[in-house]
Amino acid sequence: MGWNTLDDMDLGGKRVLVRVDINVPVENGAVTDDTRIRRLAPTLNDIRAAGGKPILLAHFGRPKGQHVPEMSLLPLVPALEAAFDAPVTFCADCRGPAAEAALAALDSGAILLLENTRFHAGEEKNCSDLAAEIAALGDIYCNDAFSVAHRAHASTEGVARLLPSCAGRLMQAELEALEAALGKPQRPVVAVVGGAKVSTKLELLGNLVEKVDHLVIGGGMANTFLAAQGIDVGKSLCERDMLDTAAAILAKAETTGCAILLPSDIVVAREFKAGADNETLPANSCPADAMILDAGPETVARIAAVLDDAKTLIWNGPMGAFEIAPFDAATNAAAQKAAELTRAGQLISVAGGGDTVAALNQAGAAGDFTYISTAGGAFLEWMEGKALPGVAVLDTSRVLA
Ligand code: 3PG
Ligand code: MG
């Protein structure tokens, strides 16, 4: 597929509806992590530099079609003004006469922020009336919200059908990085997948065994795979009802030629707490009263060897209980190895999804990765091989309705 970027659009004097994801953590009315906001700055700068008028469309939280005052976007205005170095005017509705009036009164050089699109029930239903009302406010639609692209909502999908559309700079960077990692990757490709449960990453693992050369499985879900091989995992987190599924994934990997790397040594403890007494044992020797909280050094060395030979890495999820030291050791070591190879120009490394960014930041490795996605759920659905509605609708080869 192909998509237009801002470079393909004539922005001068145009009203540009920009779908952004500013669903950021807020505490006591102040933004506590403005990463998602700062990464939108290139898009806003480029639109303004080309003489376009940016109108921001965004959701916040899950108000389910109701007007929930605590989920207003108004408190985000100062963080947006700081990140974009421009005045931001707020309008309390994302459609209708109020939005039209705010747009008419907008100072040149200013950015208009429209209220939470999810205050209207039509947003999540991708209602065509709401999409038309929103589209009436703009001349061009620019989607810069990859992290909401897995939602087929009026502001992510419906509006794109009604206006000339393009990807913003952040969306463009996400798509290019993801395409480089799974679309047409340089091989060998390694996927590192961790996290607690197989059940939440079933489709993802099923897709990866078809696409990657090596699949490293860590975190709690590795225990389920060990158990599927008949290994006793003691009191470890383990999804007993997923053993057949895990075995099926292992069998599928054999047919596709994907080498699966599971822990061969484990770090076990009797308590789940920072600094708990622990020991390192072979993976098949977890005591009945202990739980596996991390992979051991031999496993880390095997991961490092796979990474040494790899050209491309996709990473989602921690390798162990990274939030409690010393059970962050395998995650940190593997992340630092990936960072080192990326710095040396040997590896293209892409990471995303939920805890992953926190884990890589904690390892001090995030800054060296080739690309860190801002997306959680959308990154996972992309790893599952699903078409993302907000991306698919931008496809310039799509037959227009
Ligand atoms: C996110 O923060 O994950 C995105 O903004 C999407 O939000 P949602 O999961 O509520 O659709
Ligand atoms: Mg989400």
Using CB distances shorter than 6 Å, the residues near ligand 1 are 21, 23, 62, 147-148, 151, 376-377
Rounded-to-integer distance, Cα 5 and Cα 171, Å: 9
Nearest ligand, measured from the Cα of 61: 1
Residue 1 identity: M
The model's confidence at residue 23, banded by pLDDT at 50, 70 and 90, is very high
User: What whole-number distance in Å separates Cα of residue 32 and Cα of residue 366?
Assistant: 19
Query: What is the reported pTM?
Result: 0.91
Q: How far apart are CA 90 and CA 102, in angstroms?
A: 8
Task: Tokens 């080869």: give the residue.
Answer: 397
Active site residue 187: no
Residue having the nearest C-alpha atom to atom 11 of ligand 1: 148
Q: Are 32 and 128 in contact (CB under 8 A)?
A: no
85-142 pLDDT tens trace? 999 999 999 999 999 999 999 998 999 999 999 999 999 999 999 999 999 999 999 9
Average pLDDT, the chain: 95
147 alpha carbon to ligand 1 midpoint, in Å? 7
Give the pLDDT score at 400: 54
Q: What is the pLDDT of residue 401?
A: 47
pLDDT in tens, 318-372: 999 999 999 999 999 999 999 999 999 999 999 998 789 889 999 999 999 999 9
* % of the chain beyond a pLDDT of 90: 90
Q: What local confidence, expressed as pLDDT, does residue 141 receive?
A: 98
Does 374 score more than 90 pLDDT?
no
Q: Which of 252, 377, 385, 398 is catalytic?
A: 377
4 secondary structure, DSSP code: -
Q: Which of 270, 354, 385, 386 is catalytic?
A: 354
Nearest CA to ligand 1 atom 2: 23
Helix (H, G, I), strand (E, B) or coil at 295: strand
CA of 377 to the centre of ligand 2 (A): 5
CA 376 to ligand 1: nearest atom: 3
User: What is the pLDDT at residue 85?
Assistant: 97
- State pLDDT tens for residues 180-199: 898 889 999 999 999 988 88
Report which ligand 1 atom has the smallest distance to the Cα of 59. Answer: 5
- pLDDT at position 367: 95
Residue with structure tokens 């031999």? Answer: 298
Q: Which helix (H) or strand (E) holds 228?
A: helix 220-228
Beta pairing class for 165-167 and 111-114: unpaired
Task: Based on the residue annotation, tell me whether 14 is a catalytic residue of this protein.
Answer: no
390 assigned to active site: no
How many angstroms is it from 376 CA to the middle of ligand 1? 8
Token code pair at residue 24: 């950021």
Report the atom number in ligand 1 closest to the C-alpha of 145.
Answer: 5
206 is catalytic: no
Q: How far is the CA of 278 from the centre of ligand 2 (A)?
A: 34
The encoded tokens of residue 166 equal: 């393009």
**Residue 148, CA distances (Å) to 5, 23, 81, 93, 360 in order:** 18, 10, 22, 20, 22
pLDDT of residue 399: 58
